[in-house]
Structure 1
Amino acid sequence: MNVVKEWIEAHPNLWEFIKFNILSNVATIVNFIVMWIGTATFTGFGWHQIPFKFLIFNYAENIEKNLGTAGFLSFLVATALAQTVNFFVQKQFVFKSNAVFKDAIPKYIMLAFVLIIISAALPAYSQKFFRDIGISASIVPTLANAVNIIVQVVISYPTMKYIVMPEKK
């Protein structure tokens, strides 16, 4: 156990990034569960047959492949709930941030807003890509969600570390 402790002490930034990714899985689990439930629910309402297109959100073309309004809403709701969970997990357990809540939360809301926009827009394109290369339709939403999560990590880790929850100087 001393070897692990020594490694952590020698590589605190790498250890923090590892914790960030491990504990992000709490939000990832929330994201997938909500996406699956949302897709089933919104599809059950027949919303997968209603095209949705607004600005960069294009769930109108190839509606049979991107699930239309049901696809848009399931990714949107899943990302919003996952980001809410992620704020508290990262602040408490990864960054152990002493950032004042009233200062951190507006910054995080801006970050979450950007992530939600990206995550609600990207699946229409990534789902089309996966279907076009011959991936089974049954796993396309899950793969699109995985792409979303990777994009979220690339954007959120440095933003949270240096802007939202910076280390106290």
Structure 2
Amino acid sequence: MTDNNATQPTRKVGPIRQWIKDHPNIWEFILFNLLSNISTITRFVVTWIGTAIFISGMGLTQPFHFLIFNYDTQGNGLGGFLTFLLAEVLAQVVNFFVQMKWVFKSDSSFKDAAWKYVILAVIIVVVNLVLPGYVTGLCQGWGMGAGIAGTIASVVNTLLAVIVSYPLLKFWVMPKSKGSKKATK
């Protein structure tokens, strides 16, 4: 019996695939940012829909203040809070599956990763619920409309989520096992 691989010519790797192979950590971070846009798109779409339903449609603009949450009328009140709550929860659910399966290709069990992600997501959601009331109020104080102010608040939330979540996802929530063939250099 002969080894078929011994007679096969060496397969040439293209320059992009070679770069990815040579720089797996950089590629992972790029992939993290690119694929995070799936949850970002979810966040924006739900923000726009929530603004249309809760603020424009239902007129839920009465001030909402609870513990650290401050959504006055310039922050779109209760409607703003509900909009950002729904947008953040759905974005985090989408992000969990995208990051675990496509970015980190984690071999962690769903059970082990899920409870850690819930902690991270709660932190992100709380921060992302606190900031929009202030950011939206500031933007509307500068004369921007509710839609633009909500979009800017979503951009701020997204940037903060990237800064906090990448290292925590990579090293705590979804680490590759030490024996994993896909472990990075």
TM-score, L = length of structure 2: 0.85
Letter of the aligned partner of 1:76 in structure 2? Answer: L
Residue 42 of structure 1 corresponds to 54
Question: Are residue 136 (structure 1) and residue 141 (structure 2) matched?
Answer: no
Q: Which of the residues 111, 115, 128 maps onto 1:106?
A: 115
Under a length normalisation based on structure 1, what TM-score does the superposition of the two structures give? 0.92
| Pairing 1:1-169 to 2, within 5 Å after superposition | 2-43=14-55, 44-48=57-61, 50-60=62-72, 63=73, 65-132=74-141, 134=142, 136-137=144-145, 138-169=147-178
The one-letter code matched in structure 2 to 1:56 is: I
User: CA–CA distance in 1 between the matches of 2:121 and 2:76?
Assistant: 24
Q: For residue 79 of structure 2, what is the amino acid of its counterpart?
A: A
Once the two structures are TM-superposed, the CA of residue 10 in structure 1 deviates from its matched residue by 1.6
Structure with greater helix percent = 1
- State how far apart, in whole Å, the 2-side matches of 1:131 and 1:45 are: 20
Q: Specify the code of the residue in structure 2 equivalent to 1:101.
A: F
Task: Give me the whole-angstrom Cα distance separating, in 1, the residues matched to 2:99 and 2:149.
Answer: 29
> Secondary structure of the residue that 2:177 maps to in structure 1?
coil
In structure 2, C-alpha distance between the alignment counterparts of 1:135 and 1:161, rounded to whole Å = 40
1:142 aligned partner, one-letter code: T
Deviation by residue 1:118-147 (Cα, 9 ceiling, x = unmatched): 111101111233334x35224111011100
Structure 2, unmatched stretches of 5+, are 1-12, 179-185
Q: Deviations over 1:40-99 (max 9, x none)?
A: 111112211x21101111013xx1x21000001101110100100010011000000010
Cα-Cα RMSD: 1.3
Distance 2:41 2:177 in 1: 30
The letter of the residue matching 2:58 is F
Identical positions, percent? 48
Structure-1 separation of matches of 2:143 and 2:135: 11
Moved beyond 4 Å, runs of 4+: none
